[in-house]
Amino acid sequence: MAVLAHIDWHLILRHLLLLVFAYALAVPVGWNREREARGAGLRTFPLVALGSCGYVLIGLSVLHGSASQSRILYGLMTGIGFIGGGAILKGRDAVHGTATAASIWITGAIGAAVAWGRYEIAIVLSVLNFATLRVGTSFKGVIRRDGDGRGPD
């Protein structure tokens, strides 16, 4: 119970709202790209926004201007982005693996959040990432069946 007494619930709610807001703001962009039958779409854009928000919130929460901690977070973001880039495959007619690459990047943010004790950020990143991958695939099929896969020019 002593741990609960030291929790800043206002800060936690603020972080949760910011993560959801970043995610929601990216959905229309992903929707548009999906309608245009681009490689990155409804899943990838919200995941990248979510991950970016997560990394920045972690930095704001724990770094407090510390140069060494800043370098750690920068290295994580860059290195994990490089690893995720290896999941992207380009074929003749399509690009595959962008949601996987974004998910790899978000997973790095989840790990960083947990390491710095920002459990609320880690939980939201995890839940929204999983939900996007599970539900987003269903929406991808619906969007493409609604038309010819191309929106208005």
What does the pLDDT look like over 108-134, one tens digit per residue?
899 888 888 889 999 999 999 998 888
Whether residue 151 lies inside any domain: the answer is no
Residue 153 pLDDT more than 60? no
Whether residue 20 lies inside any domain: the answer is yes
Whether residue 4 lies inside any domain: the answer is no
Q: What span, in angstroms and rounded, lies between the C-alpha atoms of 137 and 30?
A: 13
* Tally of domains in the chain: 1
Whether residue 32 lies inside any domain: the answer is yes
Residue 145 pLDDT more than 70? no
- Choose among 131, 114, 149, 151: nearest CA to 47: 131
55-104 residue pLDDT tens: 888 888 887 767 877 787 888 888 888 888 888 888 888 888 888 889 99
Whether residue 142 lies inside any domain: the answer is yes
Q: What span, in angstroms and rounded, lies between the C-alpha atoms of 107 and 98?
A: 14
Assessment of whether the complete model's pTM goes beyond 0.85:
no
Whether residue 1 lies inside any domain: the answer is no
* CB-count burial class (<10 Å; 0-12, 13-18, 19+) for 20: middle
Query: Structural domain of residue 55, as residue ranges?
Result: 9-146
Whether residue 152 lies inside any domain: the answer is no
Whether residue 26 lies inside any domain: the answer is yes
